[in-house]
Amino acid sequence: MGDVHGRADLFAALVAAIEQDDANRTPAATTLVLLGDLIDRGPDSAAVVAAARALAARRSVRMVMGNHEEMLLRSLAEPEILRGFLRYGGRETLLSYPLDPQLLAATEAVEPIQQAMAQAIPAEDIAFLRAGEAMVRIGDYLFVHAGIRPGVPLEAQSPHDLRWIRGTFLTHAGDHGVVVVHGHTITDEVDWQPNRIGIDTGAFRSGRLTALALEGRSRWLIETSIDAGGIVRCQSRSIE
């Protein structure tokens, strides 16, 4: 599943669509991989994290840590990171928890904000986000948040690249030895390349959240979106 960015409505609808898709197919053990950036920018990050935790408690879920989860976790102890976090969508995350909005009006003194974060964000949420993996490999596919640095062995990839890389990875046309499935970089449609598949369709601004389903050689997309009337719609389509 691509970047959710605080869209609890789309997350709930897409999980339901994925589980209905599972039920309509031959019974098999399935794993849902969340590609990170569950939080920030959208209106209800707290609800997304709570829903993801509940989901992981009842079925096989693996979560990759995104750059926004990294920023939140580092913000708890690093003032400069907190200032950046607030500029890049973190304000919306904090406001989705029971935190006094007036604290966020003055970011010169960040210690009070850090103290409020420690009290407002449940320890279970912090532990869940902190447990996010750097990468997940299943068969011939590698699931990461942002991408990998070409030419570097998987075991030597840096966490920074895995969560932040763009240009060097996106423009590389060579074989990685695996097909990399990633989010992080928004595209209007799923970005199909021979060596990678980008599935961040910009849920927080487009109102569309995308999942890529894989089984053997079969690939299909499951997407949820919200139309102008506020109605959630789901669709599934096969990819040849």
pLDDT in tens, 43-88: 999 999 999 999 999 999 999 999 999 999 999 999 999 999 999 9
> What six digits make up the tokens of 98?
């029971």
136-138 and 141-143 beta bridge pairing: antiparallel
Domain span including residue 209: 8-63+136-239
Which helix (H) or strand (E) segment holds residue 80: the answer is helix 79-85
pLDDT the model gives residue 107 = 66
Give a yes or no: residue 114 inside a domain: no
For residue 36, is pLDDT > 80? yes
pLDDT in tens, 170-181: 999 999 999 999
165 part of a folded domain: yes
Average per-residue pLDDT in the chain?
95
Q: Which helix (H) or strand (E) holds 70?
A: helix 67-75
User: What residues contact residue 10 under an 8 Å CB cut-off, 6+ apart?
Assistant: 4, 203, 207, 208, 209, 224, 225, 226, 232
Cβ neighbourhood burial of 56 (10 Å; 0-12, 13-18, 19+): middle
The reply to whether 77 falls in a domain is: no
* Residue 163 scores a pLDDT above 80: yes
Number of separate domains in the chain: 1
91 assigned to some structural domain:
no
Domain-embedded: residue 123: no
Which tokens hold the place of 138? 């299943």
Asked, for residue 116, whether it belongs to a domain, the answer is no
Give mean pLDDT, residues 18-38.
94
**Whole-number Å distance between alpha carbons of 50 and 165:** 28
- Reading the block at residue 21, the tokens are 């898709």
Does 54 reside within a domain?
A: yes
Instruction: Flag whether 89 is in a domain.
Output: no
